Every structure is written in C-alpha cells, then in structure tokens.
Amino acid sequence: MRLTVRSGRLGDVRDGVPVFAALEGEQRPERLLPLSVTRDQALRRLVDGSGFRGAANEVVLLPRGSGWILVVGLGKAKELSLERVRQLAGTAAKAARARGVKRLSLPVLREQGLGAPAAVAQALTEGALLGLYRYDKLKKLPPHERSRRIEAITLIAERRGEVADVKRAVEKGQVLAEAVGLARDLINGPSNIVTPTHLANHARAIARQFRLGCRVIPFPQLKRLGFGGIVGVAQGSAHPAQFIVLDYRPPRAKATLALCGKGITFDSGGISIKPSAKMEQMKYDMSGAAAVLGTVKAAAALKLPLRIVGIIAATENLPSGTAQKPGDVLKTLSGKTVEVLNTDAEGRLVLADCLHYAKRYKPDGVIDLATLTGACVVALGSEAIGLMTPDERLAARLNQAGKATYERVWRLPLWAEYGPAMKSDIADLRNVTNTGEAGTITAAKFLQEFTEGLRWAHLDIAGTAWTEKERPYVPKGAVGVGVRLLIELMERWTKAVTE
C-alpha cells in the first residue's frame, strides 16, 4: 500500500475519498472536524440531513459532486484520545474498502488533548493499517472480494511545516503495523503449518533481513544441555521443539532487554487433555512468541538504541506414549526440579528455561509474555493484560506504555504468602497448586523462582491475545497484542537512560 503525506485542507485535496470526523452531540457546524470544512455549507447540510450523530465509530458515506465523502464519529469531546483516532482510521479504512474505494485521505486532526500532529499521524497510520488486516491466505475468495483493497492512503497535514514530522510518524506507524501483522499471521496460522520449525524459520528470516544474531537449539541438543522444562513438554509431539534466540545488538546500545515468549504452537493439554470445545483455538498459545518476533523485528527496523534479545521456547503439548505424565518430575535448566501435577500447566515449564537462559545476557530488564492462565481471563476478561512484577519502576513504565498504546495492563500482587502454594513434597516446586486459588498469581510465583538477580515482569496475555469480537482496528482472531506495548516501553526506556 502507498502511504503519502500532503499539506493543505482536507476539503481542498483531491486524493481519494476524504474522511471527515465529527464529535458527538455538537450541533455547531464549527465542531465538524477538520475546522476548514465549516466553509462548505453544502457539506454541512448534507451531514445534518443524514441523521448522523457523531457517536464513536458511527459511519456515513455521502455523495459529493461526482465522488463521495466518508464521515466518521469520534464520540464525545471529553473522551477524545489517540485511541479514538486509531479507531477512526480503522473504521474509515474498513468502511471504504467494503464499498470498493481504492484511495483514501485522512486528516491529521488538531484537537486539544491529542498532542502533536506526529502522534496523531502515527495513530492514524496504525489504525488504518491494522484495521485493514485480514487473514485470507488459505481462502479462495471470489474475484470481486479479492479486488476490494485500499491501494493508497494520504494523510493531510494542515501546515506545511508539519509534513516532515508527520512523514516520520507515518513510517513508524507502518513499521509497527507490519510487525503486529506478522504476529497476527503467525497466531492465525493453523498449527499444521505454524509448527515450532516454522517459528524458527521466521526468526532466521528476520535475522537475515536485519543482520541480527540468531541461534536455534534443536531438540536433541536441548536434551543434552539440560533444558528439562521444554523437553518435558515437547516429548509427546512428533514435531521437534525449537529453542530460538533472536539477538538485535545495535552499536553502543544503551541497555539490554530480554523478551521471553511462550511458543506452544498447539496446546491439547497433554495427558491432562482439555475439553474438545474450542480446542481449535489452542493454536494461539504461541501468541507470546509471535509478539516477541514482531517486537524484535520492529525494534530493528526502527533502529532503537537498545539491545533486544528475543528468547522463545517453541513446542507442541500433545498426549502420546512418550508424553510426560502427571506425577513426573523434571529438572529445569536452572537445576531446580518440578513435580508436574497437571500437564496442561506447560507454559510455565518452558518459560522457566527461557528465564534462566536470559541471565547469561545480564539484561537490564526481562519481560515474559504468555497466554498462561485461564484464571487471568476470568479475572480481567479481554480488556487488560495481567501484569505481575516485584519491580515498582518496571511496573510504572509498563503501565504508562499500556495507556499510550491502549494495550493496557493491570497489576496483580506477588506477595510472599502466595509462594508456599507452589512447593512440592518430592521436588523443589510443583507446577500447579492443589487448591485452585489465585491461579494467575501462583503461576507468576512459579516463574519468579527462576528470576533471581533479574529485573523481571510477567505479562499474562491469555485474555487479550485472541478475540471473538471484531473491533475498529482488531479483526476476529489474533490480536497481535504486546508488540506496540513493548516498543513504546523501549522508547520510554531509551529516553530514561538518555536523561
């Protein structure tokens, strides 16, 4: 898709279907955005006559001369935010595509509370491109449906002096959208295609594209090296596990961050098998790994001045004659032993090896992402990522990054009183409690056992990585959550180090 930036007034630019925005409940014509449109009395009368109210993501397509205009609601003025701008762009782009529009013009809105034009332009770019995403690689679409594609989007900056900053913001938004798109593709892909080897090959491709370091440790070597967590989970599958390390190391890096991703490409539960209902969705149990791959790719494309080490444990969790059994004891890479009471609590086993492995890089921060617990879905639903960390500063940074990207986090406690629930009678640890209480927190307490000496945070994305409900810039299925959050965190980290 071609993305361009021009200066001027939206009403004067003839570059595809223009998208106007309006606030809800504002009857005064000057509240129709952008402000320049108030000079067009015919347009004002057209909008008034359509019954359009300006509710968030309300859409009306109206004839204008020999063409069309699209008007999208922003909602109430007091609720105006960059998130509403993302939604505006996603809603507009999808509405235009559905009507066969090929080219679109979006205004870089100048409203109080939205910040600099560059921030608005980035939000518009992210919203439009993520809204247009669809996973149709495996479908045979009719010709008319396949031809419905937006070919060009133009962002209209009101002032000529803003164009350079807006262009840079558009480029950044495009990088982020492409990285999220990569994550979505991997998550949406069926598990007979997206295998552990498939993830490893994607990591190698990213490494070649950006000249990154990449190490893939195959299953036989994992057994010899003592990666007991991932080996225990993987031993029931015909697809060999892959331990993937993708290393973006720019010159004069200001800090080192390690990202650990759970990469269970299909989770049947193992011997502790899951119910059959919706088991097909368990291909998304590698959403943490997908987010790590997308984040490292985006960090390299944006040339962030931080070393980013992506560490992924990729395997399937399947029942077979060789699968681990409830009651088995395995020895993790750290040397700690774990009694496996439930083979469906496998994500924490593979992450234990990832977290210990991360110590060799002496990172300034470690963040793991995992679709770890159903309890997190019960606690927070699909609106918030579960955040657990003993580090107040890291928690604050993640919270700020979540608010900025609308990939919001909600912190749960990691009090010492939760720790004894993970102690085993015959091993150092057990992988689940015998009470069923505080499942999300106790899973994080298990992981904390492998983070000694690390500044660490755990993100449980079980409720946010997949959606059954389409949203303005998030289609049904894979969300690609975590990529934009982590890039925002890294940029804030860079500023903090520089200051």
* 84, 75 Cβ separation under 8 angstroms: yes
Domain containing 75 — which CATH number?
3.40.220.10
Residue 170 counted as domain residue: no
Residue 466 counted as domain residue: yes
Residue 394 counted as domain residue: yes
With 50 as the cut, is the pLDDT of residue 41 above it? yes
End-to-end CA distance of the chain: 37
Do 252 and 369 fall within a single domain? Answer: yes
Residue whose tokens read 């010492």: 416
Do 183 and 112 fall within a single domain? Answer: no
Residue 172 counted as domain residue: no
Residue 51 counted as domain residue: yes
Do 126 and 239 fall within a single domain? Answer: no
Closest CA to 405 of 157, 179, 185, 150: 179
- pLDDT value at residue 65: 73
pLDDT tens digits, residue range 113-124? 899 999 999 999
Question: Percent of the chain at pLDDT above 90?
Answer: 82
pLDDT tens digits, residue range 49-101? 778 888 999 999 888 777 888 999 999 988 999 999 999 999 999 999 999 99
pTM summary value: 0.95
Residue 381, domain extent: 177-498
Domain containing 242 — which CATH number?
3.40.630.10
Do 201 and 137 fall within a single domain? Answer: no
Do 103 and 146 fall within a single domain? Answer: yes
Determine whether 303 is an active site residue: no
Do 148 and 98 fall within a single domain? Answer: yes
**Domain end call among 159, 188, 204:** 159
pLDDT tens digits, residue range 338-381? 999 999 999 999 999 999 999 999 999 999 999 999 999 999 99
Do 204 and 123 fall within a single domain? Answer: no
Residue 80, CA distances (Å) to 87, 109, 115, 345 in order: 11, 11, 11, 41
Determine whether 348 is an active site residue: yes
* Number of domains comprising the chain: 2
* 61, 99 Cβ separation under 8 angstroms: yes
Q: Among 6, 274, 403, 471, which one carries the catalytic annotation? A: 274
Do 61 and 186 fall within a single domain? Answer: no
Do 184 and 89 fall within a single domain? Answer: no
Residue 343 counted as domain residue: yes
Q: Among 172, 348, 397, 430, which one carries the catalytic annotation? A: 348
Question: Percent of the chain at pLDDT above 70?
Answer: 96
Residue 165 counted as domain residue: no
Instruction: Give the C-alpha separation, 21 to 37, whole Å.
Output: 10
* 315, 265 Cβ separation under 8 angstroms: yes
Do 151 and 186 fall within a single domain? Answer: no
Do 431 and 371 fall within a single domain? Answer: yes
Do 56 and 106 fall within a single domain? Answer: yes
* 6, 15 Cβ separation under 8 angstroms: yes
Q: Kindly report whether the peptide bond that precedes residue 475 is cis, defined as omega within 30 degrees of 0.
A: no
Rounded to an integer, the average pLDDT of 274-279 is 95
Residue 65 counted as domain residue: yes
